[in-house]
Amino acid sequence: MERILITSAIPYINGIKHLGNLVGSQLPADLFARYNRARGREVMFLCATDEHGTPAELAAAKAGKPVDEYCAEMWQVQKDLSDGFGLSFDKFGRSSSEQNKALTQYFAGRLFEAGLIEERSETQVYSHADGRFLPDRYIEGTCPNCGYDRARGDQCENCTKQLDPTDLIDPRSAISGSTELEQRETKHLYLLQSRMRDQLRDWITSKTDWPVLTTSIAKKWLDDGDGLQDRGITRDLDWGVPVKRGTEDWPGMEGKVFYVWFDAPIEYIAAAHEWADARGLSQKDWYRWWRTDRGAEDVRYVQFMGKDNVPFHTLSFPTTIMGTNGVGHETWKLVDYIKSFNYLNYDGGQFSTSQGRGVFMDQALSILPADYWRWWLLRNAPETSDAEFTWESFQGAVNKDLADVLGNLVSRVTKFCRSKFGEEVPSGGVNGEAEARLIGDLQTRVETYTRHMEDIEIRKAASELRAIWVAGNEYLQSTAPWAAYKEDPERAAGIIRLSLNLIRLYAVLSAPFIPNASKTMLEALNTDDAWPDDVAAALTHLPEGHAFTVPENLFAKITDDQRDAWATQFAGQRG
């Protein structure tokens, strides 16, 4: 049986994330994890908080807390929010864990043995006002590529171009805002990515099934300008993984830490280590997910991320894995498929963490249950182009899809059955032409839905799922059991029996998208969640006489007044 390893991009520890962050990695990863579990596959779904580097130090300083204390508190905040959205991680770890510290130092030592790390003298920015060297993210300025005036010293978040601090125009300290900066010589370690260029190109070219967004970004970084550049992997910071070669000190690197983008992807592996340790399991239990020489040869590894993270996951992290695999006998698992996403924009502009523009995860859950958000976000996932959140679109999806189509069918069928036959699946009646047409239509649609889910075509899967819901409503409307009951109660009983089984089918198919509503339906029907390979069989799953209860209203409609109030509330500054 194929095993599925899933990782979603590791979010920075600083701040609560907005809906654009959520749909860019974690939520679609959860959809895929839930689907594969439903199909009976063994799944390991991993994520963590990215706790090192300047974002953590700056955020902790702003909060007036020690950085380790701040990170511990924000990890809990992010964990609680991920639970609130139903993200079914097997482990939500921390890049500051002892497991990641040891693995990062281990990989660095192996890469040094392979000749892929070397010490270089370089010029780095020193701030007189701050009395220290400024690592890349402590420096802001204007991007020389696109002119964005808040580019960071490692990458421009506007055009995604990889930068060095010395590339910035009009640089300033992100700590003090001072422009009194000086370039001084210091020593750092570099990962020699350029030596892996041909191997990386061959590997990426072989991935003919990857999204064009993923491969086009990777190839652009490989071939633009001078091609793939070597990358500094150490920084002059206090907070981070101390620089070592495995367990040995690294001469000349005292007081330095590994660059956050070197240690953060290694946390994917460390999270499995954390998972095993928390359960009292042995090394072999997490090796079987990550080492192909220790049982991971049958693992399919799928990553989910926004397009800004693609360069690091197609080039830098693979360099670490490929380079390490050339040393010793161990072989570590490379990603098999990278599902990347464009950006979700907010109502005519961009989400803004600094300005509080848009809906953030905590705010979303404070006004509506998670399934409302999950449905709209996945139905509009920015797979092939940027997408835009508007309150009109959100209201329409909730009211028309969730309330009118799915929720209405569940309510009408269960309440009608209770009023005419009691709270059990009625007996009597046989399938006829209408039922045969419905079963044939649904069999085709379920197979199409399944294919889209296997291929991680999220918007197509959501569209097909909605069509499956609509088919049931059209069947109910055309057969009109409320009218049939007056002339032929047995015919009405047969329609309702099939319709109750239809609700169960919908609950199982919908669970990856709207898990809470699915659970409510399954509990009301007092049934299991076995996947429906054969629709005809699935529509007889609940036998005559099977007891059920009428669930509460699954989805409440969003009123125009609510829509307008929320549009105003989330347009301005976040407190």
On whether the CB atoms of residues 271 and 46 are closer than 8 A, the answer is: yes
Q: What token pair was written down for 256?
A: 């330095």
- CA-based nearest residue to 500, from 427, 435, 567, 413: 413
Residue with tokens 């069928």: 413
**Of how many residues is the chain composed?**
575
Percent composition of the chain: helix, strand, coil (DSSP 3-state, to 5): 50, 15, 35
Helices 458-479, 408-420: inter-axial angle, 10-degree rounding: 30
On whether the CB atoms of residues 405 and 469 are closer than 8 A, the answer is: yes
- CA-based nearest residue to 407, from 349, 449, 342, 469: 469
Residue with tokens 């339906």: 521
CA–CA separation, 372 vs 67, rounded Å?
35
Q: What token pair was written down for 486?
A: 């007056």
Q: Environment class of residue 560 by beta-carbon count within 10 Å: exposed (0-12), middle (13-18) or buried (19+)?
A: exposed
- CA-based nearest residue to 101, from 304, 241, 293: 241
DSSP 478-489: HH-HHHHHHH-H
47 is in an annotated binding site: no
353 is in an annotated binding site: yes
CA–CA separation, 553 vs 96, rounded Å?
44
- CA-based nearest residue to 106, from 232, 296, 244, 256: 244
Residue 561 neighbours by CB distance under 10 Å: 8
- CA-based nearest residue to 20, from 325, 310, 360, 347: 360
On whether the CB atoms of residues 287 and 294 are closer than 8 A, the answer is: yes
On whether the CB atoms of residues 24 and 61 are closer than 8 A, the answer is: no
> Across the beta sheet with 299-306, what order do the strands follow?
91-94, 42-49, 3-8, 299-306, 337-341
CA–CA separation, 291 vs 288, rounded Å?
6
CA–CA separation, 408 vs 402, rounded Å?
8
On whether the CB atoms of residues 397 and 381 are closer than 8 A, the answer is: no
Q: Environment class of residue 254 by beta-carbon count within 10 Å: exposed (0-12), middle (13-18) or buried (19+)?
A: exposed
Within 13 Å of residue 405, how many CA atoms lie on the same side as its CB?
Answer: 19
Residue 348 neighbours by CB distance under 10 Å: 9
417 is in an annotated binding site: no
Residue with tokens 């009123």: 559
Residue 338 neighbours by CB distance under 10 Å: 23
- CA-based nearest residue to 393, from 372, 370, 409: 372
DSSP 148-189: -TTEESSB-TTT--B--GGG-EEEEETTT----EEEEEEEEE
Q: Hey, is 174 helix, strand or coil?
A: coil
Binding site as annotated, residues for Zn(2+): 143, 146, 156, 159
Binding site as annotated, residues for ATP: 353
Binding site as annotated, residues: 143, 146, 156, 159, 353
